[in-house]
Homo-oligomer: A and B are copies of this chain.
Amino acid sequence: MQAIDNPAIAQMEQRYRATFINSLWGFRPLALIGTCNQEKRTNLAIFNSLVHIGANPPLFGLVVRPDSVDRHTLDNIRERKEFTVNLVGKDFVAQAHQTSARYPKDVSEFEATGLETEWKEGIDVPFVLKSSIQIHAKLVEEHSLAINGTEFLIAQVSTIYIHPSCIGADGFVDHLSAQTAAGIGLDAYYAPELIMRLPYAKPK
């Protein structure tokens, strides 16, 4: 094993370090965050920083870097207090990845990438039509991290749109059936296969 310490990390070339640290943690969920401003100008951005917070009420967190292309997404979420989460399917990872390009604010990544918008009745933020698991969410809390100015947003699930065939008898969401992809770092996309599902662990 090689030991790579803090000074060694600090001395890495910037892009090498970004690739290394971003890919260090392993497989991550991939979500396209759909937003719009008050004029219904839409925005779509890929995030791999979604994290489960709780089931009752159903809450999740989202890490947003204010200095990046995420900025348009953050502005829109703050303006509307609502957004959509659209899980990325294996068959559209290239289009999902393309949303990370630095498009100007007046360009919609829906149009630029060819991912079709879906508007649902009574909801004022756009979904990704192609996504087989879509979630309408509302912003409930925001934390600014003192150490690097990153924003941590907490949102509550409002409505989940999913094919009933993707939900098991015990509530387990079958992402193999939903064709959900996983990501590593900023550019690598994976299709997982099941190793095993285990019973509730008890001391033994």
Identify whether the interface residues of A are mostly helix, strand, loop, or mixed.
Answer: mixed
Residues 36-58 (chain A) with a chain B CB within 8 angstroms: 48-58
A9 to B157, CA, bound (A): 9
Quick check: A189 and B182 within 8 Å, CB to CB? no
Chain A 129-156: CB-based contact to B (< 8 A → 1; otherwise 0): 0000111000011010111101010101
Q: Does A72 contact B (CB under 8 A)?
A: no
Quick check: B171 and A17 within 8 Å, CB to CB? yes
Selected from B2, B51, B57, B199, the residue in CB contact (under 8 A) with A164 is: B2
Quick check: A51 and B56 within 8 Å, CB to CB? no
Q: How far is the CB of A190 from chain B (nearest CB, A)?
A: 4
Number of interface residues of A (CB under 8 A): 109
Quick check: A148 and B53 within 8 Å, CB to CB? yes
Contacts of A10 in B (CB 8 A): 56-57
Q: How far is the CB of A191 from chain B (nearest CB, A)?
A: 5
User: Which residue, A52, A100, A150, A197, has most C-beta atoms of chain B within 10 A?
Assistant: A52
Q: Can you name 16 A-B residue pairings with CB atoms under 8 Å?
A: A2-B161, A5-B160, A25-B87, A26-B29, A26-B180, A26-B182, A27-B182, A59-B150, A94-B198, A141-B146, A145-B154, A182-B182, A188-B194, A188-B197, A188-B198, A190-B195
